[in-house]
Amino acid sequence: MNNNINDIKKAIIDGGKLDIRFDSSKFVGICKEYIESLNSIIEYFIKNFDEINFVLSKVAQGDLSQKITVDAKGEVLELKNTINTMVDQLSQFASEVTRVAKEVGRNRVIQND
């Protein structure tokens, strides 16, 4: 079991592989429950990580319509709320910049007439 844990640790931490899970079929009883619990913990964080990555990638591409929607609690909820607030504020800022740019454009047209 120790080798399995070290292999997973190396794959995730050293290799950045987030799709690695423990093989619980090799264990029975309390060890199997422990391994399945570890897989559940990994899955929880990966699900949230994937959602955050998706939204931030969309923001980087200029799409400010996406929000993080996964159920979250505690510090993960705080991160979710922080990112969603950031997206809202960026969207409001972009709308205001667009509004001002249109107004400036209209004023130039009026002045040129």
CATH, residue 87: 1.20.120.1530
Q: What is the pLDDT of residue 113?
A: 62
Per-10-residue mean pLDDT, the chain, length 113: 81 88 90 92 91 96 95 93 97 94 84 69
Q: What is the pLDDT of residue 80?
A: 96
- Contact in structure between 51 and 72 (CB atoms under 8 Å): no
End-to-end Cα separation, the chain, in angstroms: 80
Q: Could you list the residue range(s) of the whole structural domain that residue 78 is in?
A: 2-112
Q: What is the pLDDT of residue 6?
A: 86
Q: What is the pLDDT of residue 91?
A: 95
Count how many domains the chain has: 1
- Contact in structure between 20 and 12 (CB atoms under 8 Å): yes
What predicted TM-score, i.e. pTM, was given to this entire model? 0.76
Q: How many helices (H) and strands (E) does the chain have?
A: 3, 0
E strand or H helix that includes residue 101: helix 74-112
Coil, helix or strand at residue 44: helix
Using left for φ > 0, alpha for ψ between -120 and 50, and beta otherwise, residue 73 falls in beta
What is the distance of C-alpha 3 from the center of its chain? 30
